[in-house]
Amino acid sequence: MRIIVGISGASGVVMGYFLLKALKQQEGCEVHLVISKGAVTTWELETDMPLSKLTEIADVVHSNKNLAASISSGSFQTDGMIVVPCSMKTLAAISAGYASNLLVRAVDVCLKENRRVVLVPREMPMGKVHLRNMKEAADIGCTIVPPMLTFYNNPHSLDDQINHVVGKILMQFGMRHTKFIPWEGAVDDEAAKL
């Protein structure tokens, strides 16, 4: 499997780090990474880790300025792309088909080749323009996976919450995350009485 990961400049760039680590645990998964300039700034503001801690996980790291990179062409076979987090600027560019950088061009390529695209939009509250752009992105074939809080898996930390989101993302590609706790159902006391 070959997956492209785009990290844009929204808050929550550490989710990209968690996702890359989970993808590297998948047997035979090749990861191509593209990071926006805004994501680099956000990484420096939100984490204490050097950026190299993120980039060293990927098999290939592409410059967001390189519109001639392998992932900019449909003839380069991939299984799809994940944008995590997906800034509202990146979402707007995707929904409008405005491929002015490699990250958005790679999404555009995946969509035109009918490959899976998962967007993890990070903004709150969402304005009408954001919601419209998410609907447009969904209408053109993207799967929208907002990083919502989870409670049914009894999370104890921020890591638990992030791992839940990563697990939901990986499910879109038929992969399992070892740190994801799925819902197993509840006992129906009324049915037991029948």
In DSSP terms, 144 is beta-bridged to 119
What is the distance between the alpha carbons of residues 157 and 101, in angstroms, rounded to a whole number?
35
Which of the 8 DSSP states describes residue 127?
P
- The reply, when asked if residue 87 is annotated as ligand binding, is yes
Is there a binding annotation on residue 88? yes
Q: Cα–Cα distance between 108 and 147 in angstroms, integer?
A: 22
Among candidate residues 60, 123, 143, 73, the one with its CA nearest the CA of residue 102:
73
| pLDDT value, residue 127 | 95
pLDDT for position 186: 81
Question: Is 92 marked as a binding-site residue?
Answer: no
Is 90 flagged in the annotation as binding? yes
Is 157 annotated as belonging to a binding site? no
- The pLDDT tens digits along the chain (194 residues) read 999 999 999 999 999 999 999 999 999 999 999 999 999 999 999 999 999 999 999 999 999 999 999 999 999 999 999 999 999 999 999 999 999 999 999 999 999 999 999 999 999 999 999 999 999 999 999 999 999 999 999 999 999 999 999 999 999 999 999 999 888 888 777 766 66
**Residue 105, marked binder:** no
Is residue 95 annotated as involved in ligand binding?
Answer: no
